[in-house]
Structure 1
Amino acid sequence: MTSPVMVIGSGPIGAVVARRLAEDGCPVTILEAGPPISDPPGHHVRNQDRFHRDPDSYFEAIASRLRYFDEAAPARGLPGASVSAAVGGQGVLWTNNCPRPALFERGELVAAGEWDHYLDVAQRYLGVAADTFAGSVRQQRISHRLRPLLVAAGREIREQPMAGHLVDPATIHYVATGDILAGTGVRIEHAAVRRVIVDRGRVSAVELDDGTTLDASAVVVAAGALDTPILLHRSGIRPQAMGKRLTYHPVLYSQLVLDRQLCGGADDVPPRLWIPPTPAAPWNTMILRDTNPVPPSPPDIDIPSDRLVEMQSFCPVDNHPENTMTIGDDGTVRFDVPLREADQVRMAAALADQNTLAGALGRFRSGLEPQWMALGFAHVMGTCRMGRSDDGTCVTDEFGRVWNTDNLYLATVGVIPNSLAVNPTLAGAALAIRSADRLLAQQNSY
């Protein structure tokens, strides 16, 4: 019997790889080090009734699931950088926002037509829709209020694509790994992988923490942008480019109290809007009623939920050659990603933009004026970049295959080679499905 392809990591990107392989009849097993933390396992934690009733309790509830590398690190050491392990990976915890990258964000490794094809497939696998909240009165009124202001600046406002659907006006079903794998027969096995075993450029097996080895016809490491290079390092796979040129999103967060004429009443569907990045305004902004991780201050403690929206702006950090994630032989991790002048200019512009948008919609809620979340908290990318040639600037080829190996692939936003402004999950999933197709072609050629 042919050994299965081992996918290490059960988050949404590992799940789309496993689904693609299974649909082609390829035997595949997902290995996950973390425990089940949702019921049923692999489904989104946020689908619980208590988070529909009290969405602002969500971040506090999942805080214990995040393991930070060094919360006391200076800003350039990314004190917000963290990882988590659970059945379903980040797929049971993520925010599910899936905007498509703008043309100027695409990079040069994938042709435009191929890129659009794989983004479409990724949207289908992830259950992404852009019209889920079209019935929101607040969404319609906010869009109408902001559109002239944005159009005058060469920008636009759209419905935010999201992996999920409405069960009823007050209940969102958030897509997770369990939804992606439904009907595929793919199993998630509880197993902590110590290392990938490579012999003369070819993966033969994975070794678990208990010393057991599992044979594999190929391995796809889908352990996230941080745990993926950590596993490679532990396996003795240490290309020069690993951990270099990484990027991430500083997140500017605020909450607004809307003008009363923008509100739609207590039964209104929550809004979820998106102001895409442009070359002149290269940050990604969402206006939505989602979840609020920061306590308000008097006199704004008790504000009706239908008057509240959050604003989140994601600023890309340039993937400078000296942005580094350093992994020690003892497993310790250190980041050195200083904010350079161009990064700071973008961040200042995003802050000014939030102030302008807030002035058009209402006012900031007391205690929830614009503030930067801990740096490194969101969307670390580029830790194991794709590239066209093994020139010391990338870890894999343009299909995610690790240089100097035949059958070791990476599927993570860590392979994204360029700085993105939008949430990277959809882009990472599209590249992962493309990698799965290349792996299938390789497997079928043997």
Structure 2
Amino acid sequence: MPAQRHYPQRVDVAIVGSGPTAAAYARILSESAPEARIAMFEVGPTVSSPPGAHVKSIPEGADRARAQRASEGPGADAPKITSPAAMKSGKRLARPGTFLIEGEHTVPGEDGLPVAAMSSNVGGMGAHWTGACPRPGDSERITFLDDLDEILDDAERLLGVSRTAFENAPFGSVIVERLGAAVNAGRPPERRVQAMPLAVHRQGDGSLVWSGPDVIMGEATRSNPNFELFDESLVTKVLTADGRASGVEVRDLRTDSTHTVDARFVIVGADAFRTPQLLWASGIRPDALGRYLNDQTQVVFSSRLRDVSAPVVADETAGGLKVQSGVNWVPFTDALPFHIQVMQPDSSPVPVPEDDPLVPGSIVGLGMFLAKDLQHEDRVEFSDVDVDSYGMPAIRVHYRLTERDHEMLERARAAAIELAEAVGEPFDDTPFTLPLGSSLHYQGTTRMGDQDDGTSVCDTHSEVWDAPGVFVAGNNVIPTATACNPTLTSVALAIRGARHVAARLADAGSAVRNS
């Protein structure tokens, strides 16, 4: 029988989840409110050292595979995507380190999100993500936040964003030049083709270190004597008293015992499905809860650089990518409304004849991400009767692509062909649309708003309108239709919320001292 753990009876702040945004709350509060007692609860196990590290930073492949499997919750025994061909197979498969959502992922007559997935581990999806940190542009931006650029700067600091990790990748400048010639006209400098900002850096020996939530938390959190992390701990309810946050109910999954932890503030940073699920289970059910669900439809296409010769490159380095890999970026604009991630894969996605030797780094993959046409009807619902593997309300997804979404898909396919031809020779005639839910960039289900008009769940500090003291965090807080990777934006919003909580804690402390 596992030993009984000692959960605190009372804390100042209870944080649900341990992904990038939950980690940002822990970091800012550790820096700005060091006397506050903080408890973080994560349903999954610790899979790395330090806790929350990116699995790509685990040097041994066997250890990395074990960490991924331990992150897969109830889907650990299900088949996984192991190659580009498997992703295009049409089968309902999850990627290593993730598991497909349970419940009704596609309602008959709708498009659904058949491959929507999540992870359960310390670090959440932040232990498995690509590290891409582009800034939102044009209609992606949240116009009612005057300090958006300031908090994006701070998010880059916490995430350790770099633009030089792959600066020596072969042909990177060739790709930027060729794509730039096709799309840069009329763009401001910051929205021209460029290296992708990545939460990754190279060490002195050339190995890569990918930023996970461990990097976000930093030493400020790890050395904070008032911070505690409890893994394998399922928060089943946010508790309220007189309409405001009063604590959480948590089940120790090691012993199946239930505990109550009083808290002045509760931060729910689970993910775009489990954050609204927990609020629903807690009786916190504003009109917009679970609504405006949106993901980024993906179109992929590959090309082979023409007129290039084999460069001299070093051997493979640790960290999940080879030195011939590179990541570039065609930023979203309203004129060309796609976020385009330009990869130099480690190997060809299609067979190459033996008599046609492949030049390392010459394969270019275009990943076109599309912003969703936002709809109130696109939503995740929760059952009052049925439950999932964790005993939480079962999920049902309602999701449709609109006529505008289909028009954008056709436009994206045409743009993919045009850009593939700009850099080289396309491998195929037709770009491929990945199954819906593939991007893992689910947003909108606890969206932010500047007024309580029924179309948002939280205010501009991420505090739930209907439950003072309860804050939400994650990609699900983003209120705009984005095409770019959302992590940088969601971490920025978490920083804003955390500063607000820290100020409230300071005010309360002053009130106590002056009473």
Aligned length: 441
Q: Give the conservation status (yes or no) of the 8 Å contact 2:298–2:370.
A: yes
Residue 200 (structure 1) aligns with: 242
Residue 321 (structure 1) aligns with: 376
Q: CA 1:323 to 1:433, structure 2 compared with 1: closer, same or farther past 3 Å? A: same
1:189 maps onto 2:197 in alignment: no
Q: What does residue range 28-43 of structure 1 map to in structure 2 within 5 Å?
A: 28-43=38-53
Residue 245 (structure 1) aligns with: 292
The alignment's C-alpha RMSD in Å is 2.9
1:380 to 435, 439, 442: 442
Q: Give the conservation status (yes or no) of the 8 Å contact 2:12–2:37.
A: yes
Bigger Cα displacement from structure 2, 429-438 vs 197-206: 197-206
Give distance in 1, aligned partners of 2:200 and 2:287.
39
Q: What does residue range 38-53 of structure 1 map to in structure 2 within 5 Å?
A: 38-49=48-59
Deviation of 1:83 (Å): 1.6
Deviation of 1:364 (Å): 3.5
Give distance in 1, aligned partners of 2:133 and 2:61.
21
Deviation of 1:404 (Å): 2.6
Residue 90 (structure 2) aligns with: none
Bigger Cα displacement from structure 2, 318-327 vs 406-415: 318-327
Q: CA 1:266 to 1:259, structure 2 compared with 1: closer, same or farther past 3 Å? A: farther
Deviation of 1:2 (Å): 6.9
Give distance in 1, aligned partners of 2:488 and 2:506.
27
Q: CA 1:27 to 1:289, structure 2 compared with 1: closer, same or farther past 3 Å? A: farther
1:177 maps onto 2:213 in alignment: yes
Deviation of 1:257 (Å): 2.5
Q: Give the conservation status (yes or no) of the 8 Å contact 1:51–1:57.
A: no
1:130 to 163, 181, 188: 163
Q: CA 1:95 to 1:385, structure 2 compared with 1: closer, same or farther past 3 Å? A: same
1:371 maps onto 2:432 in alignment: yes
Give distance in 2, aligned partners of 1:141 and 1:76.
39
Bigger Cα displacement from structure 2, 151-160 vs 260-269: 260-269
2:202 to 163, 166, 169: 166
Q: CA 1:390 to 1:251, structure 2 compared with 1: closer, same or farther past 3 Å? A: same
Residue identity opposite 2:250 in structure 1: L
Q: What does residue range 281-430 of structure 1 map to in structure 2 within 5 Å?
A: 281-289=336-344, 296-297=350-351, 299=353, 303=358, 305-329=360-384, 330=386, 331-365=393-427, 370-378=431-439, 379-430=441-492
Residue 254 (structure 2) aligns with: none
Q: CA 1:57 to 1:174, structure 2 compared with 1: closer, same or farther past 3 Å? A: farther
Give distance in 1, aligned partners of 2:454 and 2:305.
51
Q: Which has the larger radius of gyration?
A: 2
1:437 maps onto 2:447 in alignment: no
Question: What SS class does the counterpart of residue 247 from structure 1 fall into?
Answer: coil
Question: What SS class does the counterpart of residue 213 from structure 1 fall into?
Answer: strand
Q: CA 1:291 to 1:387, structure 2 compared with 1: closer, same or farther past 3 Å? A: farther
Q: CA 1:442 to 1:64, structure 2 compared with 1: closer, same or farther past 3 Å? A: closer
Give distance in 2, aligned partners of 1:220 and 1:262.
53
Bigger Cα displacement from structure 2, 182-191 vs 263-272: 263-272
Residue identity opposite 1:189 in structure 2: F
Give distance in 1, aligned partners of 2:245 and 2:346.
43
Bigger Cα displacement from structure 2, 345-354 vs 143-152: 143-152
Q: Deviations over 1:328-370 (max 9, x none)?
A: 122221222211111111111111111111112223446x962
Deviation of 1:245 (Å): 1.6
Bigger Cα displacement from structure 2, 182-191 vs 56-65: 56-65
Q: Give the conservation status (yes or no) of the 8 Å contact 2:269–2:474.
A: yes
Deviation of 1:282 (Å): 0.9
Q: TM-score under structure 1 normalisation?
A: 0.90
Q: CA 1:305 to 1:80, structure 2 compared with 1: closer, same or farther past 3 Å? A: farther
Residue 91 (structure 2) aligns with: none
Bigger Cα displacement from structure 2, 20-29 vs 63-72: 63-72
Q: CA 1:220 to 1:47, structure 2 compared with 1: closer, same or farther past 3 Å? A: same
Residue 93 (structure 1) aligns with: 128
Deviation of 1:6 (Å): 1.0
Residue 17 (structure 1) aligns with: 25
Question: What SS class does the counterpart of residue 128 from structure 1 fall into?
Answer: coil
Question: What SS class does the counterpart of residue 442 from structure 2 fall into?
Answer: strand
Q: Deviations over 1:167-195 (max 9, x none)?
A: 36863211001122221234421111111
Residue 273 (structure 2) aligns with: 226
Q: Give the conservation status (yes or no) of the 8 Å contact 1:245–1:322.
A: yes
Q: What does residue range 251-262 of structure 1 map to in structure 2 within 5 Å?
A: 251-261=298-308
**Structure 1: segments with no counterpart, 5+ residues:** none
Q: Give the conservation status (yes or no) of the 8 Å contact 1:219–1:407.
A: yes
Bigger Cα displacement from structure 2, 431-440 vs 329-338: 329-338
Give distance in 1, aligned partners of 2:10 and 2:48.
33
Deviation of 1:51 (Å): 6.4
Q: Give the conservation status (yes or no) of the 8 Å contact 2:106–2:397.
A: no
Q: CA 1:262 to 1:310, structure 2 compared with 1: closer, same or farther past 3 Å? A: farther
Q: Indicate the percent of aligned positions where both proteins have the same amino acid.
A: 32
1:157 maps onto 2:193 in alignment: yes
Q: CA 1:49 to 1:384, structure 2 compared with 1: closer, same or farther past 3 Å? A: same
Q: CA 1:257 to 1:428, structure 2 compared with 1: closer, same or farther past 3 Å? A: same
Q: Give the conservation status (yes or no) of the 8 Å contact 1:160–1:273.
A: yes
Q: CA 1:253 to 1:51, structure 2 compared with 1: closer, same or farther past 3 Å? A: farther
Bigger Cα displacement from structure 2, 71-80 vs 341-350: 71-80
Q: TM-score under structure 2 normalisation?
A: 0.79
2:326 to 258, 271, 281: 271
